[in-house]
Amino acid sequence: MRSSVGFVSSCALILCALRLIDGVKGQRQCGETDYYYEYTECDSTGSRWRVAIPQNPGACTGLPEPVRGTECTFSCKAGEFLEMSAQECTQCAAGSYSLGSGIRFDQWDSMPPGFSSLATSLENTRYEEKGLSCNSSSWVPQGNYLESNRDECTVSLIYAVHLKKQGSVSFEYQYPDNNLLFEFFIQNDQCQEMDPSADTKWLKLTNHGEWATHTVNLKSGSNILYWRTHGVLMGSKVVKPVFLKNIQIEGVAYTSECFPCKPGTFSRAPGSSTCEPCPRDTYSGHGDSSCTPCNTTTQYAAEGSAVCKDRPPCSRKDYFQIHTACDHEGKTQVIYKWIEPKICLEGVTGAETLPPGGEREPCPPCNPGFYNNDTATCSPCPPGTYSDGKKLCKQCPAGTEPTLGYEYKWWNILPANMKTSCFNVGNSKCDSMNGWEVAGNYIQSGAGSSDNDYLILNIHVPGFKLPTSVSSHSGAEFGRITFEFETLCTADCELYFMMDVNRKSTTVVESWERTQTRQTYTHVLTTNASVSYTWAFQRTNQPSDLRRYVNDVARIYSISVSNALDGVSSGCRACALSTQPSSSMCVPCPPGHYIDSHTSQCTECPLNTHLVSHAAPGPDACKPCGPASRSDKDHSLCYSDCHFTHTEGNVTLTFDFSLLGSIGSLMNGPSFTSKGTKYFHHFNISLCGRQVHLAVCTDNVTDLSVTDSQREKGEGTNAVKAFICQSTLIPASGRGFHTALSSQSINLADMFIGATVENTLDGIRARPELYPQTTKKVPDVKFYYRSLEETSSCELGRSAVVTLRCNPEKTTKGEISVPSQCPAGTCDGCTFHFLWESSGACPTCTERDYHQIEGACKGGHQDLLYVWNEPQLCMGGVTLPEKKTLPCEGMEFWVRLGAGLGAFTAVLLISLTCYFWKKNKRLEYKYSRLVMSANKECEMPGADSCAVMEGENEGDMEDEVVYTKPSLLGKLKAIASKGNGEIYENVQLNSSHSKALVWS
């Protein structure tokens, strides 16, 4: 099908040419300058035709007839081109070059034909209204290279090429900043990505100022090449752009012309495949075959220059000072030298002269670990000895061993294991002598050839060796580097501190912008590996070929590396001695053991303490773990076992946080950058457990070759493994990504401080006002963490507080949130706050968390039920008791019993009432008779006493009394007396006559 289409197009091209020939009859005959040749597409037989195409259709007549062309597999060698008239390969003339079957783009004064720069639209009107759209973002030609955008817009550099055979594309690039994502991929003419799973899509970071080469194979046919950058959350930070140069494509069948050499280069002989740069103080123009010398008296030119420049008057920025090597008298001298190559003029108006050298001064002492044996140089102490920089090396006393490392604080000469260089963004090397210069008390950045040069200082450590007695400590630090520095800047300078582990890739550990006061920085290495530490200083990030800010400098006063494998000894360290009698041999201590300074023996740390490897020997090397934490058996770290107990008054609450799971995750947001890029902050939190249970965050952009299982274990070069870590996520939608991008992973907590209900622990404040609590029945439990990594903004390292809150409405796994006032999780950039609400954060259930309910008595049985107190603020622990059934007496029995007792009481009361009523009547009757008897007229008063004969008036005398309205109590007493068998009553009788006693 493809061959038939090619045949049809070839026929159409031939017919078109014949019609043009027929249509211009009577016009002038065409000359060789009026047309050019092109080949038709190859047909199914592998043939093609050469056809003449007029420069201006209709301007002349007599175009050559189509003729059969060369075979489709035909190609020319490098340095040759296909001369279409004779259809033969011809050598390129001097001043030009050819790749044969390839093309090269190495001149970027303007965007070459075929290249285009396209910024992706964010489709967000609210940002476009504010003038924050990406329309102005593009790749910019800078002469020798292309420079990418410096913002977070997505910008693509696109070039389409049709290859006749399989080929390749290669290019050189600088990619120093991971705040900018850089990818290269290829699409076909249907806009389908050729190999979307290729590991070569995302390019590796490069060292500052160094160029890397990237090569990808191409298939025959249409290939659309994309170089694309994406900014990642720079904020106010100025991003370092990507630089691109020397794009070369192989696989085209032929080139019909040679490319002229670009200005500043030349090709001396015919048939060249490359152009050479012009030597220093010479220049060349476009397509020159030789270079023209400059007038070196008044002019100069750097290597590969297109023009000569006038020499400026000499100034302070054109020379530098150095200290001479110590002479045989132990003296040194400050002298001044011109920066080479010298480009300034001395004897003109306004020029400065080279200052005279200073007086000879005593040499500074040797650095620790070196000695001076009355010679002009410092020599390292022999193995097993140490020195503080004085003349002699000493043996360590018994019970100690020499320390290993470097300690540089005097800078007379550059140490042997340190190197300095300079890189320019446009060239591979600077014109200046060195990137850094020694200056006695410090080492400082040099002048460089321009203000945007990278001035490099490097120290390589082949490995680390722990002291003998701590060599078996698991989880201990293997070494640390400490340096003291300052920067003095008037422009946007920046100092980078970088690290390359096992020569894989260089990563920026920390950076400092603009002027920084004198300060100390420490970085700890926890893996034993070969490491290169690099300092890079750049005066300005803007393109520049001048030296306007030469007085902006970075100074390093001291550099110290501990436990370096090839280091020297500056002192002695205590070690543990063998238990054999009179033995002075140092032996390793088991993990978790410290050296007893009194006995020089290994002693295990107490329970729940962790061993600080860089601490002085003795019990103080074992630091107690914080509240509610315990140490592992090797005493390498403290951790929580997920159990916590809190006692308040006579109530004890027990928590089991293992119900929350091993790792908790939170993705907050979304947030948007100033250009509208959506991103999220993703946090992983390991609440409990040892090293194997730590959370892992990885960057999937710069290390796509790492498998998912390796990322989960934290084995990638850009993986972060800690109690709490954070990554920045950019979703796949909206930017053409095939997967969500994870980058900028940082360590928030690699040390567990402790758990408590208090709001402050070890200087870390929980800030409970960020999470108002609605109930006080169950207190919040705070887990406190700290990171050992120092940053420029957090001198004590980052810290984190995880607040665990009992919420029965949440699931057991719960939900993690950040404060609404601090959507990034931190309000000050150093302390991070998290709230973990879960029913699994509730205390363990006990008997006081439920109560009993008694059921009704039915059929002689009653149920006892147990229910949780509402709301249920507990989880796990005791379970509710089973329902109990007890025998009982029903309500009918008690009703009948009550009715019977009521009836009996009523009958008794009625009987008593009747009895007392009858008794009262009798008393009234007797009283009335006595009164009547006492008041009879004409009767003589009776005797005071009289006897009553037995049987006389017995019925009347039975209850005979003198009644004076007795009380109810008296009546009852009388009844009681009668009931006891008494047959007499003695009652006082009141009357109008004299008182008398009546006996009966």
Give the bridge partners for 418, in sequence order.
459
Q: Using 50, 70 and 90 to split pLDDT, how confident is the model at 732?
A: low
Cα pseudo-dihedral 896, 898, 901, 903, rounded to 10: -70
Identify the CATH number of the domain defined by range 644-699+719-842. 2.70.130.10
Inform me whether the pLDDT recorded for 956 exceeds 60.
no
The owner of tokens 């500043």 is 264
Bridge-based pairing of strands 751-756 and 309-310 is unpaired
Token pair belonging to 375: 């010679």
Identify the CATH number of the domain defined by range 319-571. 2.60.120.200
Inform me whether the pLDDT recorded for 429 exceeds 70.
no
Write out pLDDT tens, residues 652-664: 999 999 888 888 8
Write out pLDDT tens, residues 268-289: 999 998 999 999 999 999 999 9
Inform me whether the pLDDT recorded for 164 exceeds 60.
yes
Q: Where in the chain is the domain with CATH 2.70.130.10?
A: 644-699+719-842
pLDDT computed for residue 962 by the predictor: 43
Other Cβ atoms within 10 Å of 390 Cβ, number = 13
Other Cβ atoms within 10 Å of 712 Cβ, number = 12
Inform me whether the pLDDT recorded for 393 exceeds 60.
yes
Q: Using 50, 70 and 90 to split pLDDT, how confident is the model at 997?
A: very low
Angle of helix 968-979 relative to helix 891-934, nearest 10 degrees, comes to 100
Architecture of the domain made up of 102-121+137-253: Sandwich (2.60)
Nearest to 181 by CA among 544, 704, 534, 881: 704
DSSP H or E segment with residue 728: strand 724-730
Bridge-based pairing of strands 996-997 and 370-371 is unpaired
For every residue of 618-655, DSSP letters joined together read SGGGEEEP-TT-EE-TT-S-EE--SEEEEEETTEEEEE
935-to-931, 938, 939, 940 alpha-carbon distances in Å: 6, 9, 9, 11
String of b and e for 145-170 (b: at least 16 CB within 10 Å)? bbbbbbbbbbbbbbbebebbbebebe
123-to-132, 154, 628, 703 alpha-carbon distances in Å: 12, 13, 52, 30
Calpha distance 715→706 (Å, rounded): 8
Inform me whether the pLDDT recorded for 266 exceeds 90.
yes
pLDDT computed for residue 582 by the predictor: 67
Choose between 419 and 506: higher pLDDT: 419
Nearest to 745 by CA among 706, 781, 782: 706
pLDDT computed for residue 711 by the predictor: 45
Q: Using 50, 70 and 90 to split pLDDT, how confident is the model at 924?
A: confident
pLDDT computed for residue 891 by the predictor: 59
3 state DSSP class of 678: strand
Average pLDDT over the chain, rounded to whole?
Answer: 80
pLDDT computed for residue 227 by the predictor: 92
Q: Quick one: how far is CA 744 from the chain centroid? A: 6
Write out pLDDT tens, residues 594-653: 888 788 888 888 998 988 877 777 888 889 999 999 988 888 888 998 899 999 888 899
Calpha distance 930→937 (Å, rounded): 14
Q: Using 50, 70 and 90 to split pLDDT, how confident is the model at 683?
A: very high
Cα pseudo-dihedral 701, 706, 710, 713, rounded to 10: -30
Compute the average pLDDT of residues 935-960. Answer: 47
Polymer length of the chain: 1000
Secondary structure (H, E, C), 7-63: HHHHHHHHHHHHHHHHHCCCCCECCHHHEEEEECCCCCCCCCEEEEEECCCCCCECC
Look up residue 89 and give its DSSP letter. Answer: E
Inform me whether the pLDDT recorded for 547 exceeds 60.
yes
Calpha distance 934→991 (Å, rounded): 8
446-to-183, 430, 534, 555 alpha-carbon distances in Å: 34, 11, 15, 10
Q: Where in the chain is the domain with CATH 2.60.120.200?
A: 102-121+137-253, 319-571
647-655 contacts at long range (C-beta below 8 A, 24 or more positions apart): 648/779, 651/848, 653/778, 653/779, 653/843, 653/844, 654/843, 654/844, 654/846, 654/877, 655/781, 655/804, 655/841, 655/842, 655/843, 655/844
Calpha distance 200→702 (Å, rounded): 10
Q: Using 50, 70 and 90 to split pLDDT, how confident is the model at 459?
A: very high
Bridge-based pairing of strands 720-722 and 695-697 is antiparallel
SS3 of the chain: helix, strand, coil, percent, to 5: 10, 35, 50
Query: Which amino acid type is present at position 692?
Result: V
Burial of 130 per CB tally in 10 Å (0-12, 13-18, 19+) = exposed
Calpha distance 988→997 (Å, rounded): 6
3 state DSSP class of 354: coil
Other Cβ atoms within 10 Å of 919 Cβ, number = 14
Q: Quick one: how far is CA 961 from the chain centroid? A: 114
DSSP H or E segment with residue 668: strand 663-672
Backbone angles phi, psi at 817, to 5 degrees: -140, 165
Nearest to 443 by CA among 570, 535, 305: 535
Q: Which of 66-75, 117-126, 594-603 has the highest mean pLDDT?
A: 594-603
Cα pseudo-dihedral 908, 913, 918, 924, rounded to 10: 150
pTM for the model stands at 0.70
